[in-house]
Amino acid sequence: MTKRKSGVGKPDKSGSRSSAVSVRTNTFLFAVLSLVAVFTVGYLLTAKFSRNRADTGRGNTVSATAAKESDIQLKKEGELRFISKVTGKTIKRIDIEIADNEYERTQGLMYRSSMPDSAGMLFIFEHSQLRSFWMKNTIIPLDIIYFNENKEIVTIHKYTTPFSEASIFSYKRAQYVVEVNAGFCDRYKIMEGDRIVFSSAK
C-alpha cells in the first residue's frame, strides 16, 4: 500500500490511516458494484433465455395463454356443405366453428396446433368487399377460401404459410371466408364457382 509522505520524508501516520480507510472503502464499493453487475447480467440473461423459449420457429412470440389455447379443439357451431357448380351435388360436408364478430374474426385459428380434416372455421362479415387475411400466430398451414355474397367461391389460396404476416387477398369482393386444413381443396377438388350452404347452431 502506498502511503502519503510528509515534507521531511517520514510517514504521516494520520495520512496512512486515512489512506487505509479510503482503500477499504473503495474495496467495499467495488465489491458491492461487482455484485450488482453480476446480478444484473444474470437477470438479463435469464430474461433473454425465457423470451427465446417462448419464440416459435418463425420468430413469433407465443405467450403462456397462447400455449394453452393451442390445446383448444374446434368447437362445432354448425355444419357446412361444399356444392359443385357442375353437378349441384354435395362435394364435402364439414363441421364449422363460426367467427361472426370482430374479436372472433381477429382471433381466428391462431395458436391452435391441429384441426380435424372434416372441420373448418367460417368467417361471416356484414357486407361484401375486397378482403385480406394473414397467418400471424397461426401454427397449422391452411387453405383459405373466399366467397361472395351469394356464397360462391371467388378466390382460393392453398397451402398458406404458418406464421406469415404477408397479406392474402381476395381477388374479388367477399363476404364469407372458410379456413380448412392445407390440401383440403386439392383432396376434394374444390374450385372457384363452387358454393357453400351452411346451418348454424350458434
Q: What is the mean pLDDT of the chain?
A: 78
**Residue 137's closest CA among 67, 184, 71, 52?**
67
The predicted model gives 53-65 an average pLDDT of 38
Residue 173: the pLDDT is 98
Residue 70: the pLDDT is 53
Backbone angles phi, psi at 155, to 5 degrees: -150, 140
25 vs 185, which has greater pLDDT?
Answer: 185
Residue 67: the pLDDT is 45
pLDDT band at 202 (very low <50, low <70, confident <90, very high): confident
Q: Which three cell numbers stand for residue 118?
A: 372434416
Residue 8: the pLDDT is 37
pTM, full prediction: 0.67
In angstroms and rounded to an integer, the radius of gyration of the C-alpha atoms of the chain is 32
Backbone angles phi, psi at 76, to 5 degrees: -75, 115
Q: Three-class SS of residue 41?
A: helix
Kindly tell me if the per-residue pLDDT of 63 is higher than 70.
no
Residue 47: the pLDDT is 41
Q: Which three cell numbers stand for residue 56?
A: 416459435
Backbone angles phi, psi at 43, to 5 degrees: -65, -45
Kindly tell me if the per-residue pLDDT of 35 is higher than 70.
no
Residue 73: the pLDDT is 81
